[in-house]
Amino acid sequence: MGAAAKMLKITQPAVSQTIADLEASLRCKLFDRDVRPIGVTSAGMVVRQHARSLLSEARQIVPALQRSSHAKLPMLRVGMVDSLVRSFGPSLASSMLEAVNQVSIYSGLTASMTPGLFNRELDFVIAVDQFDDLDGLERHRLFTEPYVVIVPRDYEVPDSHSVDDLLRALPLIRYSARSQTGTDVERQLRRMRVDTPRLIEFDEPQGLTELVGSGVGWAITTPLCLVGVRANMSRVRMIPFPGPQFTRSLTLLSRKRELGQLPGLIGRLAKAYLQDECLPQMLKDSPWLEGQLKVERRAPT
């Protein structure tokens, strides 16, 4: 005890009190005081072994910080909704290779990616924003777009039409209720008191758009969902949703205060891609969308 106090430049009673406090918090004895010289209990050996590892790790912090200005991150794992991963995923991966040794892009439903962010299987998520009630997240709003209708290319849309008119002509092909987009659509249909059987549904835009293009039915989707399935666009036509307008927003999420300026950088890359690549395609296909597509400029929350 005396040697420890001398090394730490504190008094011996202070060392004894610190050990007593530690034993009280751990609820076990770390030292055997019945032998001379004082001995270490089996619990004390466990604590000492882990303490040595922790101290060794702590001593590496300063050298790691000194190297960090020149080093790459070992890995970046990003989860994206299907409507964006096909178009933006390759662009993001190539842009990040200068700062990251390994980039992994995962696609999936918004609900399935949320746990991956909290259990550290993912570093970032770009998803439909439904996380306002979750703490500990940094949010960068990226893009807001309206829900629209797609019909087969040869379907003649009357000048005045409604959801009921569409349902009388063709069945509704849905996004599954597992997806946030599907949930949004079902909520809007309930508000409008539209009740129609669930015949065919998909998790992702590819199958839904292909089936509409085959003339099987019509669907409610978003312009961005169609950007990643350009091969099918020659067989479908996008028209405004015939009813009260509703929108969805995409947001970049990460854990707060963990990756420095990287969330802002990825957010800016995503916004630039949406502004320069996606918006021109959408407006070329459907000029009536002018003013309804919004790349966000606000600061993160």
pLDDT tens sequence across 257-272: 788 888 888 888 888 8
Mean pLDDT in residue range 273-281: 87
Domain 76-145+248-286 has CATH 3.10.520.10: no
In terms of Cα–Cα distance, which of 210, 215, 243, 214 is closest to 225?
210
pLDDT digits (tens, 9 = 90+) for 175-208: 998 888 899 999 999 999 998 888 999 988 888 9
Q: Which single residue is written with the structure tokens 């996004």?
A: 175
For the chain, give every domain's residue range.
2-67, 76-145+248-286, 146-247
Q: What is the CA radius of gyration of the chain?
A: 28
Q: Which of 96-100, 131-135, 160-164, 246-250 has the lowest mean pLDDT?
A: 131-135
Average pLDDT, rounded, for the chain: 84
Query: Domain 146-247 adopts which CATH fold?
Result: D-Maltodextrin-Binding Protein; domain 2 (3.40.190)
Both tokens assigned to 189: 């249909």
Please give the pLDDT value at position 232.
63
CA 10 to each of CA 2, 19, 21, 37, 47: distance values in angstroms, whole numbers, following the listed order: 10, 13, 16, 21, 22
Dihedrals phi, psi of 293, to nearest 5 degrees: -105, 130
CB 221 within 8 A of CB 184: no
3-state DSSP call for residue 78?
strand
Rounded CA separation 269/105 (Å): 15
Tell me, yes or no, if the pTM score tops 0.75: no
| pLDDT of residue 298 exceeding 60 | no
Domain 2-67 has CATH 1.10.10.10: yes
Mean pLDDT in residue range 218-238: 84
DSSP of 207-250, one letter per residue? HHHHHHHTTS-EEEE-HHHHHTTGGGGGGEEEEE-SSS--EEEE
Please give the pLDDT value at position 150.
94
Helix 61-68 with 42-59: angle, nearest 10 deg = 20
In terms of Cα–Cα distance, which of 258, 237, 276 is closest to 88?
276
Mean pLDDT in residue range 3-7: 87
3-state DSSP call for residue 80?
strand
Between the ranges 160-169, 211-220, 289-298, where is the mean pLDDT highest? Answer: 211-220
130 class by beta-carbon count within 10 Å (0-12 exposed, 13-18 middle, 19+ buried): middle
Both tokens assigned to 180: 């946030």
pLDDT digits (tens, 9 = 90+) for 28-69: 999 988 888 888 998 888 888 888 877 776 666 555 555 555
| pLDDT of residue 288 exceeding 90 | yes
125 class by beta-carbon count within 10 Å (0-12 exposed, 13-18 middle, 19+ buried): buried
CA 143 to each of CA 78, 95, 272: distance values in angstroms, whole numbers, following the listed order: 17, 20, 11
10 Å Cβ neighbour count for 191? 11
Rounded CA separation 236/232 (Å): 7
Please give the pLDDT value at position 85.
80
Please give the pLDDT value at position 147.
95
Angle (CA) 104-207-165 rounded to 5° is: 135
Please give the pLDDT value at position 256.
84
CB 271 within 8 A of CB 125: no
Stretch (H or E) spanning 48: helix 42-59
| pLDDT of residue 81 exceeding 60 | yes
CB 65 within 8 A of CB 208: no
Rounded CA separation 196/215 (Å): 19
Please give the pLDDT value at position 218.
95
| pLDDT of residue 78 exceeding 60 | yes
Fold identical between 2-67 and 146-247? no
